[in-house]
Amino acid sequence: MDSLKEKIINEGEAIGTEIVRVDGFLNHQIDVLFMEQLGKEFKKRFDNSGATKILTVEASGILVAGMTAKEFGNVPLVFAKKNAPNTMAEGFYQADVKSFTKGTVSTVRVAEKYLNSNDKVLIIDDFLAHGEAAIGLASLVEQAGGQVVGIGAVIEKEFQGGSRKLREKGYKVDSLAVIAKIENGIIEFR
């Protein structure tokens, strides 16, 4: 998606060889109308997925996932939680997610009643790096007996291997901007 690549080049910041910071329009300050455009693009790319639900994880993915849900019509968005809140007393599905960047493991959870065996779930997230978050989210869907009909990321860091890993597992993966390499402050797209 060219407008996204331009925005990453113009507003993003390459840090070392692993990180691209897009705090100005995606991860902290959010360009809402641009997120709406991304939602339309996800709809186009997963138009035949038959998605009945959009799943993401808090927090940066929520708005773009919501805009995608909006394009699919009356499809609910579910966001997995990283902390078990006190109002989440009943059963939930959970999966551990390793963060290579932070060197931590967190647990993502969705209440059992919001995922079920009839669900065709499209997973949408802001970043696809090593694929750990997407694998965790897919596990939640599958624990419920549902089907993952696609995994979409706004920005994929291809060199971190997540999309390859996910495709080997049989998932349909599509990212709006695919970064092949980050080097000397330059972001190189596939």
Binding site for its own copies (CB under 8 A): 15, 19, 21, 23-24, 27-33, 35-36, 58-59, 62-63, 66-67, 69-70, 74-79, 81, 85-88, 101-102, 110-111, 114
The nearer residue to its own copies, 77 or 154, going by C-beta atoms, is 77
In this structure, the chain runs to a length of 190
What is the nearest approach in angstroms of its own copies to the Cβ of residue 38?
12
Using an 8 Å Cβ cutoff, are 179 and 152 in contact?
Answer: no
Burial class of 70 by CB neighbour count within 10 A (0 to 12, 13 to 18, 19+)? middle
What is the nearest approach in angstroms of its own copies to the Cβ of residue 85?
8
What is the nearest approach in angstroms of its own copies to the Cβ of residue 167?
27
- Going by C-alpha positions, the residue among 17, 19, 18, 22 that lies closest to residue 6 is 22
CA–chain centroid gap for 44, Å, is: 16
The nearer residue to its own copies, 126 or 174, going by C-beta atoms, is 126
